[in-house]
Structure 1
């Protein structure tokens, strides 16, 4: 079904989004998240940094639905098959979600993509809609939180290993560690260093302390953590965490967690979070160190 065949309510207009509309889109997604999960996880910085990636063409990859000048729904295709969409809660039940899903499928087909998937809170209106449209669950994700006042138990590193802030010389090796680790289970193209740099160092508010590395006695990067503090609350969250395969089971991941959350507390964070999904097998690690599930998401996908 094409977007033209789906029902778009009369009086609404559509066009690609503009980079100047990051705040309007943040407010739209935040309203949907608050309705579905009771908490806002999205930050405007997430949108700005994603849109800064050289590989991403916002005009060719997004659609906004407007009621007059007000953005009331949107959809966007990021990379190979990652879709995102949102509908303002007051505009639900009018067929906008179905229209957006159709638009995304058509865009994916035009690019030769074999599957399009989207993260949605488990049991939410979006989850129910995609299930009704025939989307299957590809994987489950958990947002995990470390309660205020609780700390992850420290764990000694092997002799002469260290966890510290990354230096300029660490950045490209750290990117390799992250990509090698994530591509063990993630079915996507390798992210270029330029895209990584745009979404990391180019992120609004980025500071050097956000980039943590574990190094071996020779100074080689063997583990990486990217930790940020939310602009909406004093919450630290780890955006990415990885350890080189040959260096696992040495306590490096736990040491990076301890370091990341501690340095974030020094910069004003009072709670700490991260997310993981069923492809990584890491849920039990985080639960063992005292983190608890705050919300559950599913990635629903459809074959094209």
Structure 2
């Protein structure tokens, strides 16, 4: 049976989010990340490109919580199970996070989800609250950085292979390589090409050089890396990286990393980073080429047919 919905503190108001709220959500999430991990990882472009995906019904799948004119919390559900939430640090401990967790579970049941989950920094207030509410750890993620001044060792490409900027004719093939690889370990629906386009070429600030491809001697795309530059211009980060299954163990992933970070440095960055999670088994690969974990996140999920016996409602 579903848990009873908790109540928001008196004086707060709610409404579905609109695309014009992207900056307010960014400010909110940035404040939470600064408090929890000591730096801001989220960028407004991340939110804008997510909300531009044709498959995402923002109005039906989101809620914002306001204290006067200030957005102090939000939640949204993308696809079947990907939830995101944030509460302004100054408004923690008032039951808002619990209310959002219950709101998401109720929404998930209405849209037919069997489970919902969300990423939180390991050991953070959000992590502890979700554990109290019965959310289990589904997987662990690490953000890794290449120390300033360090480089990943070069890896020679097989004869006839090339790493280059993706052209317009490569985009659908790049999407297929990424989706085929990610769906080997990620249990979700296949991402529509239109959603991929919104998150890449449609992302604010995207430049053609951001999408790197490895091609075989026949010109087929067999590896892909999406490398972006942080808002402050100091960090190049690989947002997605994949190699076609039949082309693995040939050095293509390492060659794509070398190329991606070199391209980012050529565009003014001084540090390089990426993230990976326990479902991929790739952590050791990145550590072996010199990357160092800097933060740990857990994805906590809950099965929507269950009531967690240890769930608590905070006042």
Q: Is the 8 A contact 2:140 2:278 kept in 1?
A: yes
Task: Specify the SS of the correspondent of 1:169.
Answer: helix
Kept after mapping to 2: 8 A contact 1:3/1:99 = no
Q: Which whole-Å CA distance do the structure 2 matches of 1:214 and 1:182 have between them? A: 17
> 1:119-268 alignment to 2 at 5 Å?
119-268=119-268
Distance in 2, Cα, partners of 1:3 & 1:41:
33
Give the Cα separation in 1 of the matches to 2:247 and 2:2. Answer: 49
SS in 2 for 1:265: helix
- SS state at 1:58 partner: coil
For each residue in 1:22-56, what CA deviation from the matched residue of structure 2 results, as whole angstroms up to 9, or x when unmatched?
A: 11110000000010000100000000000000000
Kept in 2, the 8 Å contact 1:74–1:86? The answer is: yes
- The whole-number CA distance in structure 1 between the counterparts of 2:7 and 2:77 is 21
In the alignment, what sits opposite 2:74? 74
Counterparts of 1:276-295 in structure 2, within 5 Å, are 276-295=276-295
Long gaps (5+) in structure 2 = 305-315
Q: TM-score, normalised by structure 1?
A: 0.98
- Could you tell me how far 1:5 is from its partner in structure 2? 3.1
**For residues 183 and 248 of structure 2, what CA distance do their matches in structure 1 show?**
16
Query: Structure 2: how far apart are the matches of 1:150 and 1:93?
Result: 42
CA distance in 1, matches of 2:134, 2:11: 29
Q: In the aligned structure 2, how far is the partner of 1:140 from the partner of 1:255? A: 26
Which whole-Å deviations, capped at 9, do the CAs of 1:111-152 have from their partners, x for residues lacking one? 110000000000000000000001100000000000111100
**Cα distance, 1:4 vs structure 2:** 7.4
TM-align CA RMSD: 1.1
Q: Distance in 1 between matches of 2:269 and 2:188?
A: 33
Measure how far apart 1:2 and its partner are.
7.3
Q: 2:4 & 2:133 partners in 1: Cα distance?
A: 17
CA distance in 1, matches of 2:71, 2:213: 40
Runs of 5+ unmatched residues, structure 1: none
Aligned length: 304
Whether contact under 8 Å (1:43, 1:232) holds in the other structure is no
3-state secondary structure, aligned to 1:106? helix
Partner of 2:17: 17
Write the distance in 1 (CA, Å) between the matches of 2:117 and 2:69. 29
Task: Determine if contact 1:73/1:85 at 8 Å carries over to the other structure.
Answer: yes
The whole-number CA distance in structure 1 between the counterparts of 2:301 and 2:109 is 14
Structure 2 distance, partners of 1:44, 1:107, is 25
8 Å Cα contact 2:54-2:194 kept in structure 1: yes
Matched residues in 1 for 2:19 and 2:91: separation? 23
